[in-house]
């Protein structure tokens, strides 16, 4: 079964760091790009960052300088590293992938992706 499972969400304070994980199953995950999205209460799902299968990184202006992604070496897992967290980073974080040809111009569109995880909650609050 093709699936993605996120983990690592937590309640943290402003300025803290957090690592999320996205574990893939049922497909050759290292052949594909893994994108991260988040959704705050009452808002649309928005793109955060994406790691391509050839190790290129795509990110939004908000993520630049604070968030990075990495691909695990021994496991079918991608990691999202978030630093200097702010209350506005609060939301459910999802990882997603597209099992079809991928073009970087469309990476921020949620509708572009075929497979989604169920999400993990990140809350940044003092």
Q: In this model, does residue 57 exceed pLDDT 80?
A: yes
pLDDT at 38: 98
> Tens digits of per-residue pLDDT, 60-118?
999 999 999 999 877 789 999 999 999 999 999 999 999 988 888 999 999 999 999 99
Task: List, in order, residues 6 or more apart from 125 with CB less than 8 Å away.
Answer: 11, 13, 14, 87, 90
Place of tokens 């199953």: 25
**How far is residue 83's CA from residue 65's CA, in Å, rounded to a whole number?**
9
More confidently predicted of 19 and 104: 19
Q: In this model, does residue 8 exceed pLDDT 90?
A: yes
pLDDT at 30: 79
Helix (H) or strand (E) holding 83: none
**How far is residue 10's CA from residue 108's CA, in Å, rounded to a whole number?**
24
């Amino acid at each position: 079964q093709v699936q993605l499972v996120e983990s690592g969400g937590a309640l943290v304070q402003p300025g803290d760091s957090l690592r999320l994980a996205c574990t893939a199953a049922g497909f050759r995950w290292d052949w594909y790009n893994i994108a991260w999205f988040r959704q705050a209460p009452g808002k649309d799902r928005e793109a955060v960052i994406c790691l391509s299968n050839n190790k290129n990184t795509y990110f939004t202006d908000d993520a630049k300088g604070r968030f990075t992604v990495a691909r695990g070496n021994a496991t079918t897992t991608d990691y999202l590293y978030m630093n200097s967290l702010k209350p506005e980073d609060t939301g459910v974080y999802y990882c997603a992938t597209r099992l079809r040809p991928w073009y970087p111009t469309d990476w921020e569109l949620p509708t572009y992706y075929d497979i989604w995880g169920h999400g993990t909650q990140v809350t940044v609050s003092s």
